[in-house]
Structure 1
Amino acid sequence: MGRILDINGPIVTVELPGVRSGEQVRIGEIGLVGEVIGLDGPRAVVQVYESTEGVKPGQEASGLGHPLSVELGPGLLGQIFDGVQRPLAKVFEASGDYITRGLAIPALDRERSWAFTPVEGLEPGAEIRGGAVLGSVPETATITHRVLVPPHQSGELLELAPAGEYTVDDVVARVRGADGRVHKLHLFHRWPVRTPRPYTRRDHAVAPLVTGQRILDTFFPLLKGGKGAVPGPFGAGKTMVQQQITRWANADIVIYVGCGERGNELVEVLETFPELTDPHTGRSLMERTLLVANTSNMPVVAREASIYVGVTIAEYYRDQGFDVVMVADSTSRWAEALREVAGRLGQMPVEEGYPAYLASRLAAFYERAGRMQTLAGDRGSVTVIGAVSPPGGDFSEPVTSHTKEIVQTFWALSKELADARHYPAVDWKDSFSDSVDVAARWWHAEVDKRWHRYRAKALALLNEADELAQIVNLVGPEALSSTQRWTLESSALVREGVLQQSALDPADSYCSTDKQFALLELILSIHRRGQELLDAGIPVQRLLDLPLLAQARRLKSQYPSEQVEEVRAFAEVIREQFDNLRVECTPAAAQAEGEHPS
């Protein structure tokens, strides 16, 4: 038992002999929980996860004997936790609308029973290693939870429980370790959040994360097990992009961490997600989703911890062989928490007041993503997508610039596009993906071998149109040639017919990869056929007056992904209208062509 010496906001100095760095402690009469982040002999510096108002020097402090850890077992999915894994539904039952300080509620329900089925063929006397599968539990109607041996446990299996109903506290196995001690294994175990869970081998990612958003999947793909970032100024639509990803991504498990965001945005997430239907199963989206909610008015230290809580749970499901997507909204608020704590500790600030270890902390967090071979021999992945909120949209600020160097896919949001009602407001000039070549192999095998070439053509068209737009702003459209005016129109078709996508349109909120490619192919076909007519001397204004241009813009919302053949059938409309225009403008040439059919 120790005592409090000094209080500086969430940073408390205690005298607590024998405490270890990283250990959790309780301080004060109400038992606030914190984490040791510094030691100087018997003195320890503790960052506290809750407000320290009313706590006085001289009050008691005690170590809990373990670091900040999460409970990992059945019952996580469908839950909403705070930044230190307290279930908010249980918190509400215990304390109402406001979280009582010092409240200690276990993350997993201790009373609920689960139908445990042991692994077939696993018998007492077998040697088991950390990460091995003991059995399974139907966690939801769509997710079968695999009960794992904790990574640090191994030895001889002495007993394995038969099939039956068990609570998470019940013993389902006993193992004799190398030291001769017998360890009891439950349906759950704890793991320290700041320690990455071990794996056998890191594999190369082989398939893209399909989000159903055309600008992301077709132009800037992110692989399963990859690292992505969504930077953008206020009002550019970061939260909406991330919510679309969590809803539509072809991942097994989705973990959404609201880290320091405004309360009204998180309330919208918490209210809408339970009402959404999983497009892949037709059941509730929450059956494969877990939410960590830590708003900007919550204690700053809990905000810093929430990121690690989320990624540790993601690694746990990865170890069961699932593909997991973790969305962190936003890493800028997490970095601000680091800055505040560092300032109270008196650490030397560097860029814009951030601590010198900002880049290394960001890199360590994103490196917990990846596609792994698990200790059990399965393959699972964790895909990390972090939102970044640069002040004033300045992408050169420290958090954004460091993140840009770390991630593989960068979806830069533009305030100008958002103001023009172009959503998702992903700027094709500032965005990039290092995974295009890997994604191309998947697209060529699953969709069409022309994907890489068509993607490059569309991006070249957009970039050329951006350069022409600058000329128009300087000297007016009259300075452009017919070919350049057609390039501008074709670029507008790409933007409005492919890149723009409404999250509120039931036919366009999700777009399958087949429909994505079909739309892109049609738009590029219009550009190519129009250029051919221009080369034949047909006036560009006649092309701009074609009805098919407006029709092509409406295709995305006219047909859902299930009707991709109807989308492809529009190619006949394109052929017919261009052929009619050719005949109308060059009757002699058309007549000669009719006399000599090819």
Structure 2
Amino acid sequence: MATKGTVCGVISNMVTLTVDGPVAQNEICYISTGGDRLMAEVIKVVGVNAYVQVFESTRGLKVGSEAEFTGHMLEVTLGPGMLSKNYDGLQNDLDKMDGVFLKRGQYTFPLDKDKKWHFSPLVKIGDKVEAATWLGQVDENFQPLKIMVPFTLKGIYTVKSIVSEGEYGIYDVIVVLVGEDGNEVEVNMIQRWPVKRAMINYKEKPRPFKLLETGVRVIDTVNPIVEGGTGFIPGPFGTGKTVLQHAISKQAEADIVIIAACGERANEVVEIFTEFPELIDPHTGRKLMERTIIIANTSNMPVAAREASVYTAMTIAEYYRAMGLKVLLMADSTSRWAQALREMSNRMEELPGPDAFPMDLSSIISNFYGRAGYVVLNNGNTAPSLLSERCLLPAET
């Protein structure tokens, strides 16, 4: 039975709930108010009180409103159909939403449920597989995307049946696996993964050793970046950081580009939406947007959504890395994410660090950066890299 809660305090988008059962750190709940269900995440538990950060506006939320916990963390839906999409920080498909402004409590499915994909099997009956093993392949915007064993499975499984090459939807069962305990697992094209858990479905993660060709001579000469490494572009407002991001996205040796606009001003997000789709990919001659995913989160959205946007972007990047693809992640900017962490920390009355930032800020940022890296997959067929480029602004004092 799902745990229930009742609102007993509201401070902007931080809400205190009195719960009637167990709740977990980072667990997702939905708070009902005015006919809307607002998604929130547990950030602190003290006794029977759970402190949650709401991803939506809390205007009109009252003490006594009911909440229901889901039993899982914030998750993203992974599968074919994400390329060329515009998402918000919760992976809602912005193109499916009506109106100019986002409506509170409105959530959309990130993938196309009706589209058929041409599936080509890569394994046969009797093969032994494990989590993240490539089962088949579909092509999306000229990119070979792998359909993999769900990352949540543990142990060795045997392929009992697999469909023949043909057209299938994302919910069609394409493979049936049998575990060592005899239980069968049906696998389709999609899977879900919590955004704050790093994917560790690889054999090893060696130190980066190969230089990344960004295509920008100044960077490649004066401040080179390695494949699987991290970099940052410091600078004040209006100095061309976004333009430099566009240049790196166009020229860099990467298969997939992910743009995470974290806490950006509305005009900057509009600039990304209008200018980026017009960029021509010099490698293919087609639109760069064909192999790009944009995750937008403006500065007027609740601060909780800023944190969700960067983790959503990183999780999607790790998903494509597990396919053997090189992924370039551009997060603009981590300093605004840090400002969001500072705001939530102050609301919870935690011990402040320098400039009122949380004491564990360096640990949070470094753990996030640590998810980037060059990895060797379990199948040993390839050594893909996750290319992580972040735009970091100086923190305001």
Q: Which residue of 2 aligns with 1:123?
A: 124
Residues 233 and 391 of structure 1 are in contact (CA less than 8 Å); yes or no, is this contact kept in structure 2? Answer: no
Shift of 1:18: 2.5
Separation in structure 2 between the aligned mates of residue 376 and residue 45 of structure 1, nearest angstrom: 42
Q: Are residues 1:365 and 2:368 paired? A: yes
Match of 2:92 among 64, 79, 86: 86
Q: Are residues 1:388 and 2:392 paired? A: yes
Q: With structure 2 as the length reference, what TM-score do the two structures score?
A: 0.94
Q: Which residue of 2 aligns with 1:578?
A: none
Shift of 1:214: 1.3
Q: Any idea what SS the aligned residue of 1:231 has?
A: coil
Separation in structure 2 between the aligned mates of residue 42 and residue 173 of structure 1, nearest angstrom: 44
Residues 3 and 60 of structure 1 are in contact (CA less than 8 Å); yes or no, is this contact kept in structure 2? Answer: yes
Separation in structure 2 between the aligned mates of residue 271 and residue 376 of structure 1, nearest angstrom: 40
Match of 2:26 among 22, 25, 36: 22
The one-letter amino acid of 2:324's match is G
Q: How does 1:203-218 map to 2 (within 5 A)?
A: 203-218=206-221
1:205-240 per-position Cα deviation (integer Å, ceiling 9, x unaligned)? 232221221110122110111110111112222111
More helix by share: 1
Q: Any idea what SS the aligned residue of 1:28 has?
A: strand
1:539-574 per-position Cα deviation (integer Å, ceiling 9, x unaligned)? xxxxxxxxxxxxxxxxxxxxxxxxxxxxxxxxxxxx
Residues 235 and 241 of structure 2 are in contact (CA less than 8 Å); yes or no, is this contact kept in structure 1? Answer: yes
Give the number of the structure with larger relative contact order, counting CA–CA contacts within 8 Å between residues 6 or more apart.
Answer: 2
Q: Which residue of 2 aligns with 1:196?
A: 198
Q: Which residue of 2 aligns with 1:330?
A: 333
Separation in structure 1 between the aligned mates of residue 108 and residue 265 of structure 2, nearest angstrom: 25
Separation in structure 2 between the aligned mates of residue 44 and residue 174 of structure 1, nearest angstrom: 40
Residues 83 and 291 of structure 2 are in contact (CA less than 8 Å); yes or no, is this contact kept in structure 1? Answer: yes
Separation in structure 2 between the aligned mates of residue 123 and residue 217 of structure 1, nearest angstrom: 44
Change (3 A) 1:391 1:135: closer
The one-letter amino acid of 2:194's match is P
The one-letter amino acid of 2:125's match is P
Residues 246 and 276 of structure 2 are in contact (CA less than 8 Å); yes or no, is this contact kept in structure 1? Answer: no
Separation in structure 1 between the aligned mates of residue 238 and residue 106 of structure 2, nearest angstrom: 36
Separation in structure 2 between the aligned mates of residue 268 and residue 179 of structure 1, nearest angstrom: 53
Separation in structure 2 between the aligned mates of residue 219 and residue 175 of structure 1, nearest angstrom: 51
Q: Are residues 1:151 and 2:155 paired? A: no
Shift of 1:73: 0.8
Separation in structure 2 between the aligned mates of residue 80 and residue 138 of structure 1, nearest angstrom: 20
Separation in structure 1 between the aligned mates of residue 352 and residue 262 of structure 2, nearest angstrom: 23
Separation in structure 1 between the aligned mates of residue 137 and residue 262 of structure 2, nearest angstrom: 32
Query: Root-mean-square deviation (CA), in Å?
Result: 1.5
Shift of 1:335: 0.3
Corresponding residue pairs, total: 387
Q: How does 1:7-406 map to 2 (within 5 A)?
A: 7-16=10-19, 17-29=21-33, 30-91=36-97, 95-119=98-122, 122-140=123-141, 142-153=142-153, 154-198=156-200, 199-377=202-380, 378-390=382-394
Change (3 A) 1:36 1:178: farther
More strand by share: 2
Q: Any idea what SS the aligned residue of 1:197 has?
A: coil
The one-letter amino acid of 2:133's match is A
Separation in structure 2 between the aligned mates of residue 178 and residue 348 of structure 1, nearest angstrom: 49
Q: Any idea what SS the aligned residue of 1:309 has?
A: helix
Residues 143 and 287 of structure 1 are in contact (CA less than 8 Å); yes or no, is this contact kept in structure 2? Answer: no
Identity of aligned residues (%): 42
Residues 71 and 189 of structure 1 are in contact (CA less than 8 Å); yes or no, is this contact kept in structure 2? Answer: yes
Separation in structure 1 between the aligned mates of residue 395 and residue 60 of structure 2, nearest angstrom: 34
Shift of 1:31: 0.7
Shift of 1:312: 0.8
Q: Any idea what SS the aligned residue of 1:250 has?
A: coil
Residues 84 and 293 of structure 2 are in contact (CA less than 8 Å); yes or no, is this contact kept in structure 1? Answer: yes
Separation in structure 2 between the aligned mates of residue 151 and residue 203 of structure 1, nearest angstrom: 21
User: Which structure: larger Rg?
Assistant: 1
The one-letter amino acid of 2:151's match is P
Q: Any idea what SS the aligned residue of 1:4 has?
A: strand
Unmatched runs of 5 consecutive residues or more in structure 2? none
Shift of 1:179: 4.2
1:379-427 per-position Cα deviation (integer Å, ceiling 9, x unaligned)? 11112112122157xxxx7xxxxxxxxxxxxxxxxxxxxxxxxxxxxxx
Q: Any idea what SS the aligned residue of 2:264 has?
A: coil
The one-letter amino acid of 1:46's match is V
Q: Any idea what SS the aligned residue of 1:14 has?
A: strand
Unmatched runs of 5 consecutive residues or more in structure 1? 398-598
Change (3 A) 1:373 1:192: same
